[in-house]
Structure 1
């Protein structure tokens, strides 16, 4: 199995695309009917148009994303993924600093050819990052 066939490669690619501000690459990581929770406490959005709008806003913060892998569980063509992350250096529309932290809960599906895409992406669905990093 090559690296691009492993589901955890998608997490690395997502962070790299986010840090590069590459919306088109990010969009290629989601199935057309995928579901994304765009922020802490936000209602889920579904589908390409809604996910694009949510990611445009997120990229507009301009921060740098860092993550620590937690687990990848694979069963056939499905995978459950989780990473602890923090974003630093972001700013809201008024220029105020924005720092985001979370633990993700993600469901991925292997596509024909072996590439993985997100089916469900909940950046804040895996619990409190404070449980992992008490500092």
Structure 2
């Protein structure tokens, strides 16, 4: 994506997760999508891989439908030349389809790459990267988030 709003441009890889939370909290899907390379990969809650901005749109829209507030803090950032490996801890407080309060927490794993203009974008985003999918516990409910 080339039209990243200035407040969501990530110029240091260690700022990626905090910026993702800010983009989520804005409620604007385009702010989230602007953080991914055009062919970026996102692991979905059901364990499948989506690649490319248009394919990520639905999963990120589903995330926004929780109408929540996210906090995401960097656990580590390991940069190497123009890529970096990240891990963060996040908490998302939102609402399910029935309007009930939910809380989702976890640790992420991501790979980001520095772009020619100096900003960093996701090339791989694994929102529950510290857990194997069968062990995911979302809000004390089932192991998988239903779409």
CA RMSD of aligned residues (A): 1.7
Consecutive unaligned residues in structure 1, runs of 5 or more: 129-135
Match of 2:11 in 1: 5
1:47 Cα offset (Å)? 1.1
**What is the match of residue 43 of structure 2?**
37
Judged with a 3 Å threshold, the aligned counterparts in structure 2 of structure 1 residues 74 and 45 are, in CA distance, closer, same or farther, namely same
- The yes-or-no answer on 1:114 pairing with 2:118 is yes
Give 1:53's match in structure 2, choosing from 52, 55, 58: 58
Q: How does 1:26-105 map to 2 (within 5 A)?
A: 26-39=32-45, 41-88=46-93, 90-105=94-109
Deviation, structure 1 residue 33: 1.0
- Is the contact between residue 17 and residue 73 of structure 2 (CA under 8 Å) also seen in structure 1? no
Kindly state the Cα deviation for residue 5 of structure 1 after the two structures are TM-superposed: 2.4
Moved over 3 A (4+): none
1:5 match: secondary structure: coil
Give secondary structure in 1 for the equivalent of 2:130. coil
> TM-score, length-normalised on structure 2?
0.78
Q: 1:42 to 1:4 in 2, by over 3 A?
A: closer
Output the TM-score relative to the length of structure 1: 0.84
Count of aligned pairs:
124
